[in-house]
Amino acid sequence: MRNNPDGDTWLWQCRCAREYGCSAPIKSVLGLKHLFGDRCRFLECGALSYQTIASEFFKPVLTTMGEFVLLADRGSIDHIQLSGSPFQVEQNKIIVRLNNQDVISQNDCQLAVTQTDQTQRHPPALHLFNQSGQITHRVDLSENDDVLILAASLASQIERQKPEIFSKKSAFEEPTNNVISMKSFLQAKHLPQQMSVEDNLDDVLTDGGLSRFNKLQNLDSNHAWQVNELMLPYFLRHMTQVKFIFTRLFVASNILQGHTSDIAALNLEGHLLSIYSKGSVGILDFSAVAQAWVINYSGNGRSIPALEIYDKRGNCMAIFLPEKRPYGFMCDDWSEMLYSFPRAGQSVGI
């Protein structure tokens, strides 16, 4: 498949959707209204309502869509986590973590619900978008029980909704930049290596990783360092061959989605890196990867190394973490692999 030189991943996202059996990605709320018309309802609710509704589904397909990444998972959700809550993981269960700031920002979550469109190509779905109108996440419902759950959960929301598409605070207004939450202020005083796993993930969710990216160059090199991003496909191929279990989180503005498992298959076609596991397919546009960093998070008195991937604009694309079990993170073999990753600028013979 030909890769789009402009970096627009919509075409390969559509292909991924066809292969996985879910609907093609729709990038904006205007696209929703155009395609679905009066079959689309915009709701005056956000992350907390999404957490309540989506946790009830039996077998949805969850798709998170960034500019250069896409992850589609089919199956039960472990626990929909809001920022500020503990990071919970169960093997082979879908992980979803949402930005839940206590002030209005560009990454605040808003919801829309769509019925099956007239072409019958799009199942009923729940869509998550931010203040700029960018759709970052979708839940497709193909099971009748899940459709009934959605209808029952949204009945009261739809009855209270105004006839306008949006409330008075439009999704296309300029974000409020002069107001920050106390949590964001406190996080800004700390560097990533001094923060817990939860606070590091929430730091990324604040603005998709942009402010975090700008801090990386100033970190203590004993705790965080840039590595050779060209080694990423070889690293993932090795993890596939040895059936290594670890956590993969894909980032799209206000949401993280992922799971903990081994990789069943890996495919590099042109610049598109496809990662397959049970009930899941993730696609990463490798041509957009600009930097990769190993950062030691803090947890229970020990370092928990993470691999963070950034695009050329400074947006975080993905975060890889060691497997987490009830008694803690499995860091020994994982740490050895990440610490042996070639540093940025270091010549590597392959």
SS3 of residue 242 by DSSP: coil
The CATH architecture one would assign to domain 182-264+287-339 is 3-Layer(aba) Sandwich (3.40)
The rounded distance, in Å, linking the Cα atoms of 278 and 158 is 35
Averaged over 174-184, what is the pLDDT? 40
The rounded distance, in Å, linking the Cα atoms of 304 and 225 is 14
Contact yes or no for 42/29 (Cβ under 8 A): yes
Give the predicted TM-score (pTM) of the model: 0.82
* Pairing of the two strands 69-74 and 77-82: unpaired
The rounded distance, in Å, linking the Cα atoms of 200 and 325 is 19
Contact yes or no for 248/72 (Cβ under 8 A): no
Q: Taking the CB of residue 91, how many other CB atoms lie within 10 A of it?
A: 14
Amino acid at 20: Y
Q: Is the pLDDT of residue 172 over 60?
A: no
The percentage of the chain sitting over the pLDDT mark of 70, rounded to a whole number, equals 76
Around 2, how many Cα atoms within 13 Å sit in the side-chain half-sphere? 3
Averaged over 104-126, what is the pLDDT? 71
**DSSP letter string over 41-110?**
EEES--HHHHHHHHTT-SS-EEEEE-SSEEEEEES-EEEEEETTS-----TTSEEEEE---SS--TT--E
Averaged over 101-118, what is the pLDDT? 65
The rounded distance, in Å, linking the Cα atoms of 285 and 265 is 17
The rounded distance, in Å, linking the Cα atoms of 230 and 1 is 21
- DSSP percent split of the chain into helix, strand, coil, nearest 5: 30, 30, 40
Q: Which of 185-189, 241-245, 313-317 has the lowest mean pLDDT?
A: 185-189
pLDDT for position 46: 73
Contact yes or no for 100/82 (Cβ under 8 A): yes
pLDDT for position 243: 96
Instruction: List pLDDT tens digits, range 35-45.
Output: 788 888 887 77
Domain range list for the chain: 10-160, 182-264+287-339
Q: With bands split at pLDDT 50, 70 and 90, how would you rate the model's confidence at 325? A: confident
Contact yes or no for 70/25 (Cβ under 8 A): yes
CA distances from 342 to 7, 148, 339 (A): 27, 51, 8
Q: With bands split at pLDDT 50, 70 and 90, how would you rate the model's confidence at 193? A: low
pLDDT for position 244: 96
Cα dihedral value 82, 84, 85, 91, nearest 10? 70
Answer yes or no: same fold for 10-160 and 182-264+287-339: yes
pLDDT for position 149: 82
**Residue found by looking up tokens 């949805």 in the block:** 60
Q: Which of 37-51, 167-181, 210-224, 295-309 has the lowest mean pLDDT?
A: 167-181
**pLDDT higher for 259 or 153?**
259
Q: Is the pLDDT of residue 99 over 90?
A: no
Tokens in use for 249?
Answer: 């989180």
The topology under which CATH files domain 10-160 is: Heme iron utilization protein-like fold (3.40.1570)
Q: Please give the mean pLDDT across all residues of the chain.
A: 79
**DSSP letter string over 1-53?**
-PPPTT---HHHHHHHHHHHTSPPP--BHHHHHHHHGGGEEEES--HHHHHHH
Tokens in use for 282?
Answer: 């993730």
Contact yes or no for 307/319 (Cβ under 8 A): yes
The rounded distance, in Å, linking the Cα atoms of 89 and 80 is 10
Residue 332, C-beta contacts closer than 8 angstroms, at least 6 positions apart: none
Instruction: List pLDDT tens digits, range 241-257.
Output: 999 999 999 999 889 99
Q: Is the pLDDT of residue 1 over 50?
A: no
pLDDT for position 228: 95
Q: Taking the CB of residue 169, how many other CB atoms lie within 10 A of it?
A: 12
